[in-house]
Structure 1
Amino acid sequence: MKTKNIIFYSAGIILLIISFFLDKLVLVSMVRNPILDYALGSVTHFGSVFIVLIVMTSLFLWQERKREWIPVLWVSFLASSILCLILKSIIARPRPEDLVAAHFIISTVYSFPSLHASASFTAIPILDLEFPKLKWFWVLFAVIVAFSRIYLNVHYLSDVIGGALLGFAVAHFFVFIEKKHKIFQRIKIFRR
């Protein structure tokens, strides 16, 4: 693994550990604003797995030579989503909305890790490979989606950091595997 990746993942894990101690402090310090409530409520819907997957698939379909990465994109999203749901069931951490009176979004599953953050960050390693100019726009979008989940009282800081790390790591893993072994490129239905 490259040194920059080791540093990135180490920093992410340290940040995740620290964030567990800051969760309630960040939650309590949130200032409410009706305009932000509406804006971030809208943003959070664009960060759902389904919307992110449609946007990313459309982007890769747009340029024929980049279509070979669509299976990697889909497998990355599927794997990170399944891992998120498994971790949510195992950890079974209650959502912050259970502790705070303000409910902006109705949620049905546990809190850790954030599936929205995972979905948004899953796209980054694949975008970095094929659309490097769009990567930083997407990083900003992913950070705003992650923040919206905290602001709307459906996740703690550690939930979104954990989801972001999970999504990024899963996609990074599948990009590495595909670059090294060309699994999807060898399958006839995925070739041009």
Structure 2
Amino acid sequence: MLDSPAKLFRLAAVLFGLFLALTVLVIADWTQSLDDRVAEVMRTAEMPWLVSVAEVFHYIGRIPLVFVLVVAGFAFFVFTKKLRAGFVWLGIVVVAAVLSDLTKVLVGRDRPIDALVQEHSFSYPSGHSLVAAAAIGIGLAVVASILWPERRRLFLWTGWVFAVPMVLSRIYLRAHWLTDTLGGLLFGLAVVTASVALWERWRQSEPT
């Protein structure tokens, strides 16, 4: 079971280590042949209605909507008088976004040249996958712990239901390579896991 903060911190470290390992492989250009093959499969499976569905997830992950979700999440913490937890959550989401942008610049990977949506930043890691996972995943986990602790696992699975189509949509729209989305997802999951660990440690330290 991964209910103890110590186990969650270890899992977060493993996920972040996998992200670093994948980053090294991307920088060394050892993943490009796999990325090219996956991109070609997506190209052959292109259908107008699937493009429309993928575009919905594209707009869900845009910064304005993520900003609204973050503000709404922080407002929830204020409303439930969990202000310290709210600041921790907000800080981790902001740090994740900053680290994502720094990694993009350091790696400097170009996006696929025939993308179906317009993007201007570098490709690795996928900011959509990372920030959406961090903002929504952490929010779901903490809200579940406060309101419905017995259904916490259901909320975590709900986060996965959101993350998987988000990742697939980025590849399908040729906005990212496969490994871009995997990198963003690993980083996002590491952030979510570390955040839940912090929350659990804080919650368990509260006097009953």
TM-score > 0.5, shorter chain as reference: yes
Query: In structure 2, do the counterparts of structure 1 residues 173 and 59 end up closer, same or farther at CA, with 3 Å as the change threshold?
Result: closer
Alpha-carbon offset, residue 48 of structure 1: 2.6
Mapped pair 1:157 → 2:178: yes
Larger relative contact order (CA 8 Å, sep ≥ 6): 2
CA distance in structure 1 between the aligned counterparts of 2:156 and 2:81, rounded to whole angstroms = 15
Alpha-carbon offset, residue 163 of structure 1: 0.8
Q: Is the 8 A contact 1:79 1:170 kept in 2?
A: no
User: In the comparison of the two structures, how many residue pairs are matched?
Assistant: 179
Alpha-carbon offset, residue 43 of structure 1: 1.4
Aligned counterpart for 1:104 among listed residues 116, 126, 131: 116
Q: Is the 8 A contact 2:142 2:199 kept in 1?
A: no
CA distance in structure 2 between the aligned counterparts of 1:65 and 1:80, rounded to whole angstroms = 24
The answer for the alignment partner of 1:40 in structure 2 is 54
Residue pairs, 1:165-180, within 5 angstroms? 165-177=186-198, 180=201
Alpha-carbon offset, residue 33 of structure 1: 0.4
Query: In structure 2, do the counterparts of structure 1 residues 120 and 70 end up closer, same or farther at CA, with 3 Å as the change threshold?
Result: same
Q: Is the 8 A contact 1:107 1:154 kept in 2?
A: yes
Q: Deviations over 1:92-114 (max 9, x none)?
A: 10101x2x4xx311110110000
Alpha-carbon offset, residue 180 of structure 1: 4.5
Aligned AA for 2:142?
L
CA distance in structure 2 between the aligned counterparts of 1:139 and 1:181, rounded to whole angstroms = 24
Aligned counterpart for 1:72 among listed residues 88, 91, 97: 88
Alpha-carbon offset, residue 153 of structure 1: 0.3
Mapped pair 1:124 → 2:130: no
Query: Structure 2, unaligned stretches of length 5 or more?
Result: 1-5, 145-151
Aligned-pair identity (%): 23
Q: Is the 8 A contact 1:72 1:175 kept in 2?
A: no
Residue pairs, 1:74-93, within 5 angstroms? 74-93=90-109
Q: Is the 8 A contact 1:60 1:67 kept in 2?
A: no
Alpha-carbon offset, residue 178 of structure 1: 5.6
- Computed over aligned residues only, the root mean square deviation of the Cα atoms, in angstroms, reads 3.3
Aligned AA for 1:72?
V
Query: Structure 1, unaligned stretches of length 5 or more?
Result: 186-192
Alpha-carbon offset, residue 126 of structure 1: 4.5
Alpha-carbon offset, residue 75 of structure 1: 1.3
CA distance in structure 2 between the aligned counterparts of 1:177 and 1:11, rounded to whole angstroms = 19
Mapped pair 1:28 → 2:34: no
